[in-house]
Amino acid sequence: MKKNKINLLLSICVFSMMLGCSSDEKQTVVTKTQLVMSDEFNVDGAPNPILWSYDIGTGNNGWGNSELQYYTNRPENIKVENGFLKITARREQYMGKSYTSARILTKGKFETKYGRLESRIKLPRGKGLWPAFWMLGSNSDTAIWPQCGEIDIMEYLGSSPTKVFGTVHGPGYSAGNAITKTYTLPNSRFDTDFHVFGVEWDENYINFYVDNVLYNQITPSDVTGDWVFNNPFYMILNMAVGGNYPGAPNSETPFPQEMLVDYVRVYQ
């Protein structure tokens, strides 16, 4: 019996290590199963205008990150085709920039307070590529970032095809001081197949998942400022090129590059 107990404890510790959580952390796992929003991207053409709108242009200082792309709503950069949303980054001269890409958001169309939000995505590969599936507080027009809050469900650098990041930004913990954790994919890469990226979010925690593997939990006690995640948020899908975080593409980064999205789903 003692041997069995030791084996059980060892198994728990190994499992905890696999999740990236120390043995004294308490994981809150809630399965939310009521589907309240779904885009399966099964109608060819532009993204569903009932759910999605576009950010166009270069934003302020390259969307705050010195990014190099011009975001458009052209089918060359974004379209639904063959069951997938395709966000395509291109190297081309356009509106004074050397790259184009796309960024869509559900702001004012679908916003949610809490839930399980997930997307199945195949990511590109190459230095300078920065795709993301993320969220901003719906009050982002009046509560200037980071006061509005930001939840990065998935961020990825094309130069590191086995790693993704799950992050929160808020007042006192933004940019380089954000609360973040890396998930490394075992025995594979994110550019060779689709993977499901998600969070399960409630009043006092945000759980981060890859392929239903829980790899991080962030709670109010983990942040170094106000917990600003008890308000509605909207979703964003985009692929940036260059910027402070990934750096510029190099000669070995081929273009065009595609971020393929199979679905976006939200459960309560």
So which residues are the catalytic ones?
Answer: 150, 155
- Nearest-angstrom CA–CA distance, 117 and 148: 19
- Nearest-angstrom CA–CA distance, 59 and 62: 5
Q: What's the burial of 167, exposed, middle or buried (CB within 10 Å: 0-12/13-18/19+)? A: buried
For residue 222, give both structure tokens. 């983990």
**Is residue 154 a contact partner of residue 121, using CB atoms and an 8 Å limit?**
yes
